[in-house]
C-alpha cells in the first residue's frame, strides 16, 4: 500500500471512534480531506481505494448533518468500517502499482516506437489487406530526457482494457497498470560511446505483447544492445497503430476447439506468420539504419540475436534455421511442435540456449525440442527452472501478485527466477554478440537449488 493509503485508514478510524467535541471532529475532517487532496496530487487515484473514499464521503455527510448519525449504531458503523477497510487493503495488495525492475548496466535507456506494412504478404487473419505490425525499440543512451521516464505500457488504459477483455474480466480491473513507470526515456539520443550496437530481437508468445518483456529490453539496452520487441498483430493482446486503430487479439490464431489436423495447420500458420514478421523487422532495421533521425548508422546488423518465448521461441528458431542474418537464439519454453519436420531435421547451427519451465517438463513439445537439439551444432544447454510456470517468462506479475494462481510461482519469481533469466540472457548475448567469455555453468552452480541441467551444451 502507498503511504497516503495508510494515513487515510488511520484518519478514518480516528474520525469514527474518537470521543470529542464537534469542533475537534471538524479538525479531524479537515485532516481527512487534506490527506485525500494530497493523495490525488501526489499519487495516482486507483479504483481499489474507492471503498475508503466512500467511507470518507459518508463521514462528511454525517458531520454536515445531511445524514442523521442516529440511523447508525456503533455496531453497524464498526462492521461497515471493518469491511470497507479490509476490502480496500486486499484490493490494494492484489492490484498494486508495482515497482519496475531496475536495469543494472551503465547506460541510460532510450525508447521509441515503429510500425510497418509488409506489402509482400497478405494478412492471414483477414482484418487487413497486407500484414501490418508494430515494434518497440530500446537503446543505450547517455542522457535522461527532460521529462520523466515513460510508462511501462505506452497505451496503458487501452491495453489493460484489451487484456481484461481477452480474459473475460471487468474492463477496469487492471487500470492501475497505466501508472507503472519504466526506466526508459522517450527518444533520447543514442549514446555515442560506441560506433555501432548489436541487436537483440524479442518475439513474444501467444496472447503476449511487445512490452511484456520490457525487463529484458531495458537490461540489455543498459549494457549496450539495441533491443527490438515485435508486436505480432492478431497473436498479440492488442496492437496499437499511429492512426488510432487497434487490432485486438484474435482467437482464430490458435483455436484449441478444432480437430487435431486443423489445429496443426493453424499452429503452423501462426509460427510461420511470426517467423515472417521477424525477418521483415530485420529488413526494416536495414532501412532504419540508413535514414532514421534517431537510429541511423547506430545498428550493427552483422550481430543479430533473437529471444523468443513460447510460440515466439518457435518462430525465432524457425526463422534462424533459414535466415543467416541471425547469429544466435535464446529460447524460453520455445514451442517447436508447429515447425515442420523438415526444418527440425535441419537443426540450428548457430549458438542456441534454452530455458524451460517445470510446467512444460512433461509436454510432447520436448520430443521435438530434443530432436532439434540432436540435429543442431553450437547448442549451449537446456536448463529447467525449479517450481516455475510458463507465464514466469514474462512480466505478467506486474499486473497482480494474483497471477501466481494463473501460473506464477510467487517466491521463485521474487527471489531467483528473474535473476536467473537476466544473468543467463546477458551472458548469452555478451558472449555471442560481443565476443565475451562468460561461464554459463558458473551461473548454474550459483543457483544450484533453483536450476536443473537437462542437457549440457557443447
Read off the pLDDT band of 83 (50, 70, 90): confident
> What is the spatial distance between Cα 134 and Cα 240, in angstroms, rounded to a whole number?
7
The CATH H-level superfamily of 108-456 is Alpha/Beta hydrolase fold, catalytic domain (3.40.50.1820)
| Sequence-ordered list of residues with C-beta below 8 angstroms from that of 435, at least 6 positions apart, any chain | none
Q: What pairing do the DSSP bridges indicate for beta strands 379-385 and 451-456?
A: antiparallel
Greatest Cα pair distance, the chain, in angstroms, is 85
The closest of 442, 447, 361 to 412, measured between CA atoms, is 447
> What is the spatial distance between Cα 383 and Cα 421, in angstroms, rounded to a whole number?
11
> What is the spatial distance between Cα 429 and Cα 198, in angstroms, rounded to a whole number?
9
Cα 143 to Cα 184, 272, 300, 346, 397, distances in angstroms: 11, 39, 21, 45, 29
Q: Would you say the C-alpha torsion 392, 393, 398, 399 has a positive or negative sign? A: negative
Q: What angle do CA 21, 25, 29 make, to 5 degrees?
A: 170
Is the pLDDT assigned to residue 50 strictly greater than 80?
A: no
Instruction: Look at 122 and 20; give whichever has higher pLDDT.
Output: 122
- φ, ψ of residue 17 to 5 degrees: the values are -115, 0
Pick the most confident of 17-21, 153-157, 232-236, 251-255.
232-236
- The answer to whether residues 82 and 51 touch, using CB atoms and an 8 Å cutoff, is no
Is the pLDDT assigned to residue 23 strictly greater than 80?
A: no
- The answer to whether residues 180 and 150 touch, using CB atoms and an 8 Å cutoff, is no
Read off the pLDDT band of 413 (50, 70, 90): very low
Is the pLDDT assigned to residue 418 strictly greater than 60?
A: yes
Could you report the per-residue pLDDT of 162-218, keeping only the tens digit for each? 998 887 788 777 888 888 999 999 999 999 999 999 999 999 999 999 999 999 999
Q: Would you say the C-alpha torsion 29, 33, 36, 42 has a positive or negative sign? A: negative
Read off the pLDDT band of 408 (50, 70, 90): very low
Q: What pairing do the DSSP bridges indicate for beta strands 130-141 and 226-231?
A: antiparallel
Is the pLDDT assigned to residue 28 strictly greater than 80?
A: no
How does the average pLDDT of the chain come out, rounded?
87
For residue 426, give the C-alpha cell.
Answer: 546477458
For residue 58, give the C-alpha cell.
Answer: 459518508
> What is the spatial distance between Cα 429 and Cα 280, in angstroms, rounded to a whole number?
22
Share of the chain above pLDDT 70, in %: 84
Q: pTM for the full model? A: 0.87
The CA-based dihedral angle spanning residues 256, 257, 259, 260, taken in that order and rounded to the nearest 10 degrees: 20
Strand partners, 382: 354, 455
Could you report the per-residue pLDDT of 32-43, keeping only the tens digit for each? 777 777 776 766
Mean local confidence (pLDDT), 354-367: 95
For residue 422, give the C-alpha cell.
Answer: 537476466
Read off the pLDDT band of 19 (50, 70, 90): low
Mean local confidence (pLDDT), 213-241: 97
Mean local confidence (pLDDT), 425-438: 93
Is the pLDDT assigned to residue 404 strictly greater than 60?
A: no
Domain ranges of the chain: 3-94, 108-456
Query: How buried is 341 (Cβ within 10 angstroms: 0-12 exposed, 13-18 middle, 19+ buried)?
Result: exposed
- Average the pLDDT over each of 47-51, 106-110, 198-202, 350-354 and give the range with the smallest value: 47-51
pLDDT of residue 18: 59
- The answer to whether residues 256 and 140 touch, using CB atoms and an 8 Å cutoff, is no
For residue 143, give the C-alpha cell.
Answer: 542522457
pLDDT of residue 440: 83
Amino acid at each position: 500500500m502507498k503511504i497516503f493509503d495508510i494515513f487515510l485508514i488511520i484518519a478514518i478510524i480516528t474520525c469514527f471512534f474518537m470521543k470529542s467535541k464537534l469542533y475537534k471532529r471538524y479538525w479531524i475532517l479537515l485532516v481527512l480531506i487534506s490527506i485525500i487532496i494530497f493523495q490525488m496530487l501526489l499519487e495516482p487515484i486507483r479504483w481499489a481505494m474507492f471503498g475508503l473514499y466512500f467511507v470518507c464521503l459518508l463521514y462528511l455527510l454525517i458531520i454536515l448533518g445531511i445524514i442523521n448519525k442516529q440511523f447508525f449504531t456503533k455496531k453497524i458503523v464498526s462492521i461497515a468500517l471493518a469491511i470497507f477497510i479490509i476490502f480496500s487493503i486486499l484490493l490494494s495488495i492484489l492490484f498494486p502499482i508495482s515497482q519496475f525492475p531496475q536495469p543494472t548496466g551503465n547506460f541510460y535507456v532510450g525508447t521509441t516506437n515503429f510500425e510497418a506494412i509488409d506489402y509482400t504478404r497478405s494478412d492471414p487473419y483477414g482484418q487487413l489487406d497486407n500484414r501490418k505490425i508494430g515494434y518497440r525499440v530500446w537503446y543505450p543512451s547517455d542522457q535522461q530526457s527532460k521529462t520523466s521516464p515513460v510508462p511501462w505500457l505506452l497505451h496503458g488504459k487501452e491495453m489493460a482494457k484489451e487484456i481484461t477483455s481477452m480474459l473475460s474480466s471487468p474492463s477496469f480491473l487492471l487500470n492501475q497498470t497505466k501508472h507503472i513507470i519504466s526506466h526508459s526515456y522517450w527518444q533520447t539520443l543514442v549514446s555515442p560511446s560506441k560506433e555501432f550496437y548489436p541487436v537483440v530481437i524479442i518475439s513474444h508468445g501467444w496472447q503476449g505483447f511487445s512490452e511484456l518483456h520490457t525487463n529484458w529490453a531495458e537490461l540489455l539496452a543498459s549494457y549496450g544492445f539495441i533491443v527490438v520487441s515485435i508486436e505480432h498483430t492478431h497473436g498479440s493482446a492488442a496492437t496499437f497503430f499511429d492512426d488510432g486503430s487497434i487490432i485486438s487479439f484474435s482467437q482464430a490464431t490458435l483455436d484449441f476447439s478444432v480437430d487435431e489436423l486443423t489445429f496443426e495447420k493453424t499452429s503452423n500458420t501462426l509460427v510461420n506468420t511470426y517467423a515472417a514478421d521477424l525477418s521483415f523487422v530485420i529488413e526494416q532495421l536495414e532501412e532504419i539504419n540508413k535514414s532514421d533521425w534517431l537510429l541511423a548508422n547506430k545498428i550493427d546488423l552483422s550481430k543479430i540475436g533473437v529471444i523468443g518465448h513460447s510460440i515466439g521461441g518457435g518462430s525465432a528458431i524457425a526463422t534462424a534455421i533459414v535466415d543467416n542474418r541471425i547469429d544466435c537464439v535464446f529460447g524460453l519454453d520455445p514451442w517447436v511442435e508447429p515447425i515442420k519436420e523438415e526444418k527440425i531435421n535441419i537443426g540450428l547451427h548457430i549458438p542456441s540456449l534454452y530455458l524451460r519451465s517445470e510446467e512444460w517438463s512433461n509436454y510432447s513439445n520436448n520430443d521435438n525440442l530434443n530432436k532439434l537439439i540432436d540435429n543442431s551444432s553450437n547448442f549451449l544447454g537446456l536448463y529447467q527452472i525449479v517450481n516455475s510456470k510458463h507465464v514466469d517468462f514474462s512480466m505478467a506479475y506486474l499486473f497482480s501478485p494474483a497471477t501466481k494462481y494463473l501460473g506464477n510461482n510467487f517466491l521463485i519469481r521474487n527471489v531467483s527466477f528473474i535473476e536467473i533469466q537476466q544473468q543467463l540472457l546477458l551472458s548469452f548475448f555478451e558472449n555471442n554478440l560481443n565476443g565475451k567469455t562468460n561461464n554459463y555453468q558458473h551461473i548454474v552452480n550459483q543457483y544450484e537449488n533453483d536450476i536443473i541441467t537437462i542437457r549440457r551444451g557443447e
